[in-house]
Structure 1
Amino acid sequence: MTVTGGVRRVLLARRISDDKGEISESVEEQTKRLRTRAFDEGVIIAGEPEDLSVSGDVDFVDRPALGQWMTPEGREMWDDLWVTNQDRLSRNELHVMSFIIQMLGWKKGVVVLDDPEFTEQMKTPEGRAIIHVKALGPHKELERIKARNKDSHARRRYTVKWPGGIPPFGYVAEQRFENGKTATYLKLDEDMQKVLYEMRRLMVDESQSFSGVAAWLNNRSVLTARDRARIRKGKPVKRRGGAVGEQERWSETSVKLLLTDEALLGYKKHDRQVLYDDQGAPIRVAGPSFTTEEWSTLQAACAQRRITTTRRVNGTSPMYGVAHCSKCLSKAVHKVSVRIVQPPKDDPEQESREVTYRYYQCGAWPKPERCVGISCRAEIAEELVEIMFLQKYGQRRVTKRVWVPGNDTSEQLDELDKRIKRLRRQDEDGDWDDDREGYRERMTQLKNQRKELSAIPVRKSGWIEQDQGKTYLELWPSLDLEGQRKQLIEAGFKIMIGSKTAWLDETPLEGGLRLEEAPEA
Structure 2
Amino acid sequence: MKPITSTNGGRPLRVLAACRLSLDDDSSSSIERQREKLREWMYANPHCTLVHVTEDRSVSGAVDLKDRPELGPWLAEGKRDGWDAIWVSTQDRLGRDDLHFMAFVKDLLEWQKGIYVHDDPSFDVTTETGRLIAYAKATQAAAELTRIRQRALDSRDYLRRNGLWAGGNLPFGYKPVPLAVGDKVHYKLVQEPDYAKLLREIAQRVEGGEVLARIARDLNERGILTWQDHLRTLPGPDGHEPKGVRGVKWHPSTISRVFKKVSCIGWVQYEDKETGKIRVVELDNGEPVMFTDEPILTSAERATVLAKIEERVAKPQRARRSVARLSGIIKCGTCGQRMNINRITHKLKGGLATYERYRCASTTTAQQCSMPAYIEKDFIEEYLDELLLGQLGGKEEVRVVKNAGEDHTVELEQYRARLARVEKEDEQGWYDDDRESYLKKRRNLVARIKELEAKPVIPATVTYEPTGRTFRKKWEGMTDEEQREYLLAHNVLIGAWRSGVLPKQRAAFVWLGDLVEASRAMGVEHDRMRDAVWSFTRSNLTEEQEAAAKRWIERVFPEGKELPF
Q: Deviations over 1:364-386 (max 9, x none)?
A: xxxxxx99xxxxxxx97624754
Q: Deviations over 1:245-301 (max 9, x none)?
A: 966554434422313543222221234443222233321111434365xx7556535
Q: Deviations over 1:188-211 (max 9, x none)?
A: 334432432442353356x42123
Q: State TM-score, norm by structure 1.
A: 0.63
- Counterpart-to-counterpart distance in 1, 2:58 and 2:140: 21
Q: 1:39: how far off?
A: 0.3
1:196 and 2:191 aligned: no
- Counterpart of 1:93 (choices 84, 91, 98) is 98
- Counterpart-to-counterpart distance in 2, 1:66 and 1:335: 65
**Which residue of structure 2 aligns with residue 258 of structure 1?**
258
**Which residue of structure 2 aligns with residue 41 of structure 1?**
45
| Alpha carbons of structure 1 residues 72 and 332: separation in structure 2 relative to 1, 3 Å | farther
1:382 and 2:377 aligned: yes
1:158 and 2:153 aligned: no
- Counterpart of 2:211 (choices 206, 209, 212) is 209
- Counterpart of 1:276 (choices 259, 282, 294) is 282
- Counterpart-to-counterpart distance in 2, 1:265 and 1:443: 20
| Alpha carbons of structure 1 residues 110 and 204: separation in structure 2 relative to 1, 3 Å | same
* SS of residue matched to 2:164: coil
How many residues align? The count is 456
Q: 1:152: how far off?
A: 3.7
* SS of residue matched to 1:111: strand
For 1:19-34, list aligned pairs within 5 A.
26-27=30-31, 29-34=33-38
| Alpha carbons of structure 1 residues 37 and 174: separation in structure 2 relative to 1, 3 Å | farther
Q: Note if contact 1:188-1:287 (Cα within 8 Å) is conserved in structure 2.
A: no
Q: Note if contact 1:160-1:283 (Cα within 8 Å) is conserved in structure 2.
A: yes
For 1:78-157, list aligned pairs within 5 A.
78-104=83-109, 107-116=112-121, 118-119=123-124, 121=126, 131-132=134-135, 134-157=137-160
Q: 1:56: how far off?
A: 0.8
* SS of residue matched to 2:188: strand
Aligned-partner residue type, residue 39 of structure 1: Y
Q: 1:186: how far off?
A: 2.7
Q: Deviations over 1:403-436 (max 9, x none)?
A: 4654545456657767887898999957564999
**Which residue of structure 2 aligns with residue 15 of structure 1?**
20
- Counterpart-to-counterpart distance in 2, 1:235 and 1:358: 61
- Counterpart of 1:54 (choices 34, 53, 59) is 59
- Counterpart-to-counterpart distance in 2, 1:356 and 1:107: 82
| Alpha carbons of structure 1 residues 308 and 443: separation in structure 2 relative to 1, 3 Å | closer
Aligned-partner residue type, residue 276 of structure 1: E
Aligned-partner residue type, residue 117 of structure 2: V
| Alpha carbons of structure 1 residues 439 and 200: separation in structure 2 relative to 1, 3 Å | closer
| Alpha carbons of structure 1 residues 279 and 4: separation in structure 2 relative to 1, 3 Å | same
- Counterpart of 2:324 (choices 297, 313, 318) is 318
Aligned-partner residue type, residue 283 of structure 2: D
Aligned-partner residue type, residue 150 of structure 2: A
Q: Where do 5+ consecutive residues of structure 2 fail to align?
A: 1-6, 272-277, 366-373, 393-397, 465-473, 497-505, 517-551, 558-562
| Alpha carbons of structure 1 residues 37 and 177: separation in structure 2 relative to 1, 3 Å | farther
| Alpha carbons of structure 1 residues 444 and 493: separation in structure 2 relative to 1, 3 Å | closer
| Alpha carbons of structure 1 residues 284 and 7: separation in structure 2 relative to 1, 3 Å | same
**Which residue of structure 2 aligns with residue 461 of structure 1?**
460
- Counterpart of 1:307 (choices 311, 319, 333) is 311
- Counterpart-to-counterpart distance in 1, 2:60 and 2:327: 54
Q: Where do 5+ consecutive residues of structure 1 fail to align?
A: 239-244, 345-349, 363-369, 372-378, 466-474, 497-502
**Which residue of structure 2 aligns with residue 286 of structure 1?**
292
Q: 1:81: how far off?
A: 1.7
* SS of residue matched to 2:37: helix
Q: Note if contact 1:268-1:282 (Cα within 8 Å) is conserved in structure 2.
A: yes
Q: Deviations over 1:478-504 (max 9, x none)?
A: 9874464235534465899xxxxxx99
- Counterpart-to-counterpart distance in 2, 1:336 and 1:8: 84
For 1:396-415, list aligned pairs within 5 A.
403=402, 405-408=404-407, 410=409
Q: State TM-score, norm by structure 2.
A: 0.59
| Alpha carbons of structure 1 residues 171 and 67: separation in structure 2 relative to 1, 3 Å | farther
Q: Note if contact 2:105-2:125 (Cα within 8 Å) is conserved in structure 1.
A: no
Q: Deviations over 1:15-61 (max 9, x none)?
A: 23349xxxx99545533433222101113333333334321112223
Kindly report the root-mean-square deviation, in angstroms, between the aligned alpha carbons of the 2 structures.
Answer: 6.0
